[in-house]
A and B are shown apart, each in its own frame.
Chain A
Amino acid sequence: MSESLQSTSHEEAGADTDHIPPIVQFLPLQKALDLARANSLWPLTFGIACCAIEMMAASASRYDADRFGAGVFRNSPRQADLMIVAGTVNLKMAPIIKRLYDQMPSPKWVIALGSCAICGGPFDQDDNYAVLQGVEKIVPVDIFVPGCPPRPEALLHAILELQERIKSGSTNATRA
């Protein structure tokens, strides 16, 4: 695992004050909380482009993300703790994503769904003037899902992967 990659994303996200761990820690309680959090991820309803349709498909009848407790799409960032960036992030959209991320209560996690969200994908080419080279430039990303667009089961796998990481307490998420 490249630790350097994660640390840079933290710095770029400007989350410098959030690193400080709470003064008093209750480990068993923390474990229980992590378990609860992992099994009740509430994603933010937020589709930008093609991948959003596959995200919808993942929450619809055939794939049913509800089986993993991650099907309760919330319309308000204040109620969500998982941001699935599904689509191309451009210059005009980037500040809004940053703002939405800031509005979400901690701890919070980000899945970059699809090529565009990972690195600009097919649109970060020769004369690019609009597309951001990956959502990692503005928010810390936990799971990268390649595909253009990724299949719904890839998103489900990403959610499972994220749950694993949350349970082991090793995500990029900032803790309040």
Chain B
Amino acid sequence: MPLEPEAVEPVAEQKAVYPELIERLRKAGATEVSSLDYSKSGMDVDAQVTPQSLCAVASILKHGHFSLETLVGVDRQPEFEVLYLFKADNEGPRVKLRAKTDRETATLPTLTNVYGGADWYEREVFDMFGVNFIDHPHLRPLLLPHFTKFHPLRKDFHGAPIVIPEDTVEIPELDVQAATKLGQSTGLRSDFFLNMGPQHPSTHGVLRILLHVEGETILGGRCHLGYSHRGTEKLAEKKQYVQFLPYTDRMDYLSPLNYNWGFARLLETATGIESTPRAEVLRVIMCELSRIASHLVWLGTYLLDLGAITPFLYCFEDRERILTIFERATGQRMTTSYIVAGGVRNDVYSTFSLEISELMRDMRKRLVEYDKLVIGNEIFLMRTDKVGIISPELAIEYGVSGPCLRGSGVDYDARRDEPYCELYKELEWKVPFETGGDCLSRSRVRMAELEQSVNLVEQALLKLEDGPVRSKVPKIFKVPAGEYYSVTEGPRGIIGWYLIADGSQIPYRLKVRVPSFANLQTVEQLMPGTRVADVVSILGSLDVIIPEIDR
């Protein structure tokens, strides 16, 4: 059941304004509330809030079933600004709240009492800018090691020597306390701490979870991120827009094309460059192929986590066929750097359509096989059915997106609900969703998405007409000063790019809203009461990519 926003009704199709919402935000204490042009900035409503009124304004949005999409910290020199990006369901508006704090005090009230999902976002801002959030339950560095003393995204920070201190693997006392706090003590003193990761095969990368367990039952747990933090957002402030393209591949390496598209779309929103019709079709084909490849890796590794080895071999065999097509069309297997502002980098080869339609034909047969092999399997059902239930309310509060959101019964897909590609409207497909909210539902959504992607690719191939693949782009690429936001749907959910440009060739601040970040955050809420083996099942069903979270 899709949850409808209460307070807002879009007035016009093209340029919607939300007078009722604006009025309510004003009443709650927001100053300078204005409506923005969605097609230019990617936001509908912009409001300035004082630290005192922040929670009151956020509560209004919470009642309107807005979900917190991300927090963007900005060093405005001298003061800091934190942007809170909210999204209503389906056709509703996107709202941006701006809260300022000066450099010396650098404090803001926490939003965790209103939005539980603000937890990690605030910790990230604390990490990167040193902004303190008063009354935050667990304000400790999230991405950086606990021994660092700097705040990298401040504009006056210029690199630090890479020195590894001796004793970094110790579990700090605070982490133990935090893990204890999450679970309810049973009074029996047989509980202990279990460290899962960072080198653990089921964490799909380098995630560390500190579990507080009693026997097999989990009382609580804390995720520790940052084992793959690479400082991409700081790098973005040093690289030209063109040079940053390769880095977009390396954030989510299972679906680099979707990230390429997100970044290209951001630049197209900002500069007004339009891509060509042929390029648009190619983008859809490549991104849907990329989605298939990504879901195949999920299927293979998830089953590997649950103890089945065969599907891994089958899925990778199919994935290799898709990668071969990527390699022939883009020049690389994984880090494609293919989709750029104004179109795609090069045209595809002659037998492209033929090969893909053949592959899709085989894919359909394979999907039936996978369904028989996996989804019907009794062992699989026992491991996933009614395990790790994300309720729709929790999903919206934490800003969960993608198959995880649709597995919880919220019918939202950016491909259909965000006007970012006209072609998706023309093609015939549907957004699969399940109401269970458990691991099985999420798996079934992904399996159905595989089928829909095959559908989309097959139809898009018919629309492929001759023409240029890249429109004219100025040689020196500059973005006019301003703030832009763009959203695309990746295999894991909403990929959002927030850009603050100052008119030069280099971004002033570039923030990526990654889907896995919000999806993984729910894990701390899902774990209490389950068994240790269920954690593996839950983690796998969320399909997180750690370098994407850590950036």
Which residues of A lie under 8 Å from residue B180 when comparing CB positions? none
Q: Which of A16-24, A89-97, A167-175 contacts B (4 or more CB under 8 A)?
A: A89-97
Which of A62, A92, A94, A126 is close to B229, meaning CB atoms less than 8 Å apart?
A92
| B253 engages A123 (CB within 8 Å) | no
Q: Which of B157-165, B385-393, B476-484 contacts A (4 or more CB under 8 A)?
A: B157-165
Given the known interface contacts A88-B230, A132-B162, the answer about A125 and B238 at a Cβ–Cβ threshold of 8 Å is: yes
Which residues of A lie under 8 Å from residue B150 when comparing CB positions? 129
Q: Is A130 an interface residue (CB 8 A)?
A: yes
The complex places the Cα of A50 from the Cα of B317 at a distance, in Å, of 18
| A130 engages B164 (CB within 8 Å) | no
Q: Is B441 an interface residue (CB 8 A)?
A: no
| B227 engages A49 (CB within 8 Å) | no
Least CB distance from B467 to A in Å reads 32
Q: Which of B1-9, B198-206, B363-371, B496-504 contacts A (4 or more CB under 8 A)?
A: B198-206
Chain B residues in the interface with A (C-beta under 8 A)? 144-145, 148, 150, 152, 157-160, 162, 164, 168-169, 198-201, 205-206, 226-232, 234-235, 237-239, 246-247, 250, 253-254, 297, 300-301, 312-314, 316-317, 319-320, 323, 333-335, 546-547
Least CB distance from A88 to B in Å reads 5
Least CB distance from A149 to B in Å reads 6
- Residue among A61, A133, A148 with the most chain B CB within 10 A? A61
| B250 engages A53 (CB within 8 Å) | no
Given the known interface contacts A49-B253, A100-B199, A128-B159, the answer about A95 and B234 at a Cβ–Cβ threshold of 8 Å is: no
| A62 engages B317 (CB within 8 Å) | yes
Least CB distance from B66 to A in Å reads 33
Given the known interface contacts A60-B316, A122-B250, the answer about A92 and B168 at a Cβ–Cβ threshold of 8 Å is: yes
Q: Is A156 an interface residue (CB 8 A)?
A: no
Given the known interface contacts A50-B250, A126-B159, the answer about A94 and B230 at a Cβ–Cβ threshold of 8 Å is: no
Chain A residues in the interface with B (C-beta under 8 A)? 44-50, 52-54, 56-57, 60-62, 75, 77, 87-88, 90-96, 99-100, 122-123, 125-133, 138, 148-149, 151
The complex places the Cα of A128 from the Cα of B238 at a distance, in Å, of 11
| B547 engages A88 (CB within 8 Å) | yes
Least CB distance from A58 to B in Å reads 10
Least CB distance from B533 to A in Å reads 15
The complex places the Cα of A92 from the Cα of B297 at a distance, in Å, of 27
Known: A49-B205, A90-B226. 16 other contacts (CB 8 A): A44-B199, A57-B316, A57-B319, A61-B313, A61-B314, A61-B316, A87-B547, A91-B162, A123-B230, A123-B231, A123-B235, A125-B238, A129-B159, A130-B144, A130-B231, A149-B253
Given the known interface contacts A93-B206, A126-B238, the answer about A88 and B228 at a Cβ–Cβ threshold of 8 Å is: yes
The complex places the Cα of A94 from the Cα of B148 at a distance, in Å, of 14
A-B complex: 3 closest residue pairs judged by Cβ atoms: A60-B316, A50-B253, A129-B160
Which residues of B lie under 8 Å from residue A149 when comparing CB positions? 253, 334-335
Which residues of B lie under 8 Å from residue A93 when comparing CB positions? 198, 206, 227-228
Which of B145, B160, B169, B253 is close to A53, meaning CB atoms less than 8 Å apart?
B253
Given the known interface contacts A54-B334, A62-B316, the answer about A131 and B152 at a Cβ–Cβ threshold of 8 Å is: no
Given the known interface contacts A54-B334, A127-B159, A128-B231, the answer about A96 and B297 at a Cβ–Cβ threshold of 8 Å is: no
Which residues of B lie under 8 Å from residue A60 when comparing CB positions? 300, 312-313, 316-317, 320
Which of A48, A100, A122, A138 is close to B228, meaning CB atoms less than 8 Å apart?
A48
Which residues of B lie under 8 Å from residue A50 when comparing CB positions? 250, 253, 334-335, 547
- Residue among A90, A94, A99, A149 with the most chain B CB within 10 A? A90
Given the known interface contacts A57-B316, A60-B313, A149-B334, the answer about A90 and B228 at a Cβ–Cβ threshold of 8 Å is: yes
| B547 engages A49 (CB within 8 Å) | yes
Which residues of A lie under 8 Å from residue B159 when comparing CB positions? 126-129
The complex places the Cα of A130 from the Cα of B54 at a distance, in Å, of 33
| A91 engages B313 (CB within 8 Å) | no
The complex places the Cα of A61 from the Cα of B230 at a distance, in Å, of 31
Least CB distance from B419 to A in Å reads 32
Given the known interface contacts A48-B206, A88-B228, the answer about A127 and B162 at a Cβ–Cβ threshold of 8 Å is: no
Task: Identify the closest chain A residue to B232 (Cβ).
Answer: A123
Which residues of A lie under 8 Å from residue B169 when comparing CB positions? 95-96, 99
| B199 engages A96 (CB within 8 Å) | yes
Task: Identify the closest chain A residue to B323 (Cβ).
Answer: A57
| B247 engages A57 (CB within 8 Å) | no
Which of B145, B162, B168, B313 is close to A131, meaning CB atoms less than 8 Å apart?
B162
Which residues of B lie under 8 Å from residue A132 when comparing CB positions? 162, 164
Least CB distance from A1 to B in Å reads 27
Which residues of A lie under 8 Å from residue B238 when comparing CB positions? 125-127
| B334 engages A131 (CB within 8 Å) | no
| B226 engages A92 (CB within 8 Å) | yes
Which residues of B lie under 8 Å from residue A138 when comparing CB positions? 164
Least CB distance from A41 to B in Å reads 18
23 contacts between A and B (CB under 8 A): A47-B205, A49-B547, A52-B205, A53-B253, A53-B334, A54-B333, A56-B301, A60-B313, A62-B317, A77-B199, A87-B228, A87-B547, A90-B226, A90-B228, A92-B168, A95-B168, A96-B227, A99-B169, A122-B247, A126-B159, A129-B157, A133-B162, A148-B335
Least CB distance from A82 to B in Å reads 14
Least CB distance from B9 to A in Å reads 45
| A130 engages B316 (CB within 8 Å) | no
The complex places the Cα of A99 from the Cα of B158 at a distance, in Å, of 30
- Residue among B199, B231, B313 with the most chain A CB within 10 A? B199
Which residues of B lie under 8 Å from residue A133 when comparing CB positions? 162
Least CB distance from B167 to A in Å reads 8
Which of A57, A95, A122 is close to B320, meaning CB atoms less than 8 Å apart?
A57
Least CB distance from A79 to B in Å reads 13
Which residues of B lie under 8 Å from residue A131 when comparing CB positions? 162, 230-231
Which of B234, B250, B316, B334 is close to A129, meaning CB atoms less than 8 Å apart?
B234
Which residues of A lie under 8 Å from residue B246 when comparing CB positions? 122
Which residues of A lie under 8 Å from residue B168 when comparing CB positions? 92, 95
| B164 engages A94 (CB within 8 Å) | yes
Which of A57, A92, A100 is close to B145, meaning CB atoms less than 8 Å apart?
A92
Least CB distance from B247 to A in Å reads 7
The complex places the Cα of A56 from the Cα of B309 at a distance, in Å, of 12
| A129 engages B231 (CB within 8 Å) | yes
Least CB distance from A86 to B in Å reads 10
